[in-house]
Structure 1
C-alpha cells in the first residue's frame, strides 16, 4: 500500500506505522514526517481489514483508497536502551620516566676483595688450576690482602658511591679525587671487582673505561716534553758552556791588543 506524504508530497510505501486511538500513524521513509490516516466512515462488507491499515469506500463501487490526514508527529522513544559495556581495558602500572632508579646494593659482604674465581690482585678470571695468575703473574699463595686495600678516604668514598650508584656525577667526583691522590690503580681495581660481581653493570663499565682514559691522557701529556728537572739541568749546562766560551774569547782579544802595542 502506498500513500502521499503530506511533508514531501511523495508517493511512498508504508514501512513504519503505529496505531493511535484506532487510527493509523505512518512515518515517511524519505523525509521522516508522520502522517495520520482518518478513521473509516463505513465498515466494508468484506474482507476483514488488515491490521495497521485503514480504508474507506471510494467513488467507484468497492474500490478503496487511503485518506492521508496530517497529524502531529508522535513522540516516540526511539533511542535504544543504554547497555552497560563490559570493561575491556586492562589496568597497567604507570612508570614515570623521571622516577629515580634505585641504587644497587652491595653484592658481597667484603667490598674490597675479589669474588671467588678471580685473581685477588688484578681480578682476572682464573681459567685453570695453576697456582699463579696468567694475567699479572701473581702466585696466589704469596698474596697478602692488606697490601691491596684502599686508603681510608677511598674506602669511605666508595661506600658512599654505592648509595648513589646511578648518579654519574658521584662517579666523576670519585675519579677526580683518585686522580689527585694518585689512587687511580685502586679505583680501577674497585670497578673491576664490581664488574666481576655484575658483568652487565653499565656504570661500572663506564667507570673502568674512564679510569683508562684519564690515566692514558695523563701519561701522554707527561711524555710530550722533558721533565722540569731535566730542563733545569740542560739550561745550567748551556749557560756554563756560554760562559767558558766568552772567557776564552776575552783572553784572545786581550792578547791581540798587547801584541799590537
Structure 2
C-alpha cells in the first residue's frame, strides 16, 4: 500500500505511522515531511426549547417550522484543538500497486511442449470429440514429435529469451536469427505454445503477429510463382527461336560463299 506525500507529491510505501492527539501522522521516507489526517468533525444535534407562557398572558400562536434541515457549524472537541490551529491537510490518497509482468515457468515442458487441449502440431484449440485438427488436418493418433524438428541453436536462443522476456530487442534478434536459418515457422509455433500456457501474455501475442508479418514479406505467394514461371518459359522459347533463325541465316551465307568459290575454279 502506498500514499502520496503532500510536500513532495511522490508515491511512497506506507511503512510506519503514529497517532497524535487523535489523528494519524505519516512521515514521508523521501523528504521527511509529515502528513496529518484528523478524524472527521462532529456536529452537535439541534435542540429547540420553547418558553412557557406567563400567567395571565395570551397564548403565543405557534409558527409552522419548515422540515428542511438547517446546516449547523461544526463543533470541534477540546482534545482536537491542535487541528484548528494547524493547516488543513487532505486525506491520504492510497494507491494500489499495479500487477507485475506475466511470468511463466522456464522449464522445457512449458517452453517447448504445448499443454493439453490443443493440437500438438499447430497449437490450435482441440475439441474432445474430434479425431483430427480442423486447422492443419493432423490426425492426432498419428502425431510424431520428431515431425517438429528444432535446432539446438534456436532452442538455446529461446531459453535465453525466456529469461529476458520483457526486452523486445531480444525478440527481434531471435526472429532475425530464425529468418537466416530458415526456422521462422518454428519460432511462430514457440510463440503459440507460450500463449497456450499464458493466454494474457501481451509480449507473446506481439511476437506471434510479428512472425506472421515477416513470413508474408519473405515467402512469395503462389500467384507470383506461377506468373514468374510463365514469363521464364516464354523467354526461353523466344530465345530458342531467335537462335534458330540466326543459325539458319549463317548456314545460307556459308553455302552461297562456297558455291561462289567453286564456280571460280
Answer 1 or 2: higher relative contact order, Cα 8 Å, separation at least 6: 2
Partner of 1:203: 203
2:103 equivalent in structure 1: 104
Which residue of structure 1 aligns with residue 113 of structure 2?
113
Distance change >3 Å, CA 149–CA 220, structure 1 → 2 = closer
Show CA shifts across 1:99-152 (max 9, x none).
Answer: xx7572327660211111111111111124122222212222222223325211
Partner of 1:83: 85
Q: Kindly tell me the number of residue pairs found equivalent between the two proteins.
A: 175
Q: Which residue of 2 aligns with 1:250?
A: 250
Other-structure match for 1:164: 164
CA-atom RMSD, angstroms? 3.7
Q: Is the 8 A contact 1:175 1:184 kept in 2?
A: yes
Partners of 1:108 and 1:117 in 2: how far apart? 19
Question: Higher helix proportion, which one?
Answer: 2
TM-score after normalising by structure 1: 0.55
Whose Rg is larger? 1
Question: What does the per-residue CA deviation read over 1:25-53, in whole Å, with 9 as the maximum and x for residues that have no partner?
Answer: xxxxxxxxxxxxxxxxxxxxxxxxxxxxx
CA separation in 1, counterparts of 2:90 and 2:247? 105
Task: State whether residues 106 and 162 of structure 2, in contact with CA within 8 Å, keep that contact through their aligned partners in structure 1.
Answer: no
Checking the alignment, whether the CA contact within 8 Å between 2:106 and 2:159 is kept in structure 1 is no
Does the Cα contact within 8 Å between 1:123 and 1:192 map onto a contact in 2?
A: yes
Counterpart Cα distance in 2 of 1:254 and 1:156 = 70
Bigger drift between 235-244 and 110-119 goes to 235-244
Residues 131 and 176 from structure 1, CA distance in 2 versus in 1: closer, same or farther, beyond 3 angstroms? same
Please tell me whether the aligned partners of residues 121 and 148 of structure 1 are also in contact (alpha carbons under 8 angstroms): yes
Distance 2:162 2:138 in 1: 29
Give how far 1:189 is off. 0.5
How far has the Cα of 1:242 moved from its partner? Answer: 4.2
Structure 2 unaligned blocks of 5 or more: 1-80
Using a 3 Å threshold, how does the CA distance of structure 1 residues 195 and 90 change in structure 2: closer, same or farther? same
Taking the aligned partners of 1:94 and 1:135, their CA distance within structure 2 comes to 43
Write out aligned runs for 1:146-165 (5 A). 146-165=146-165
In structure 1, stretches of 5+ residues that fail to align are 1-79
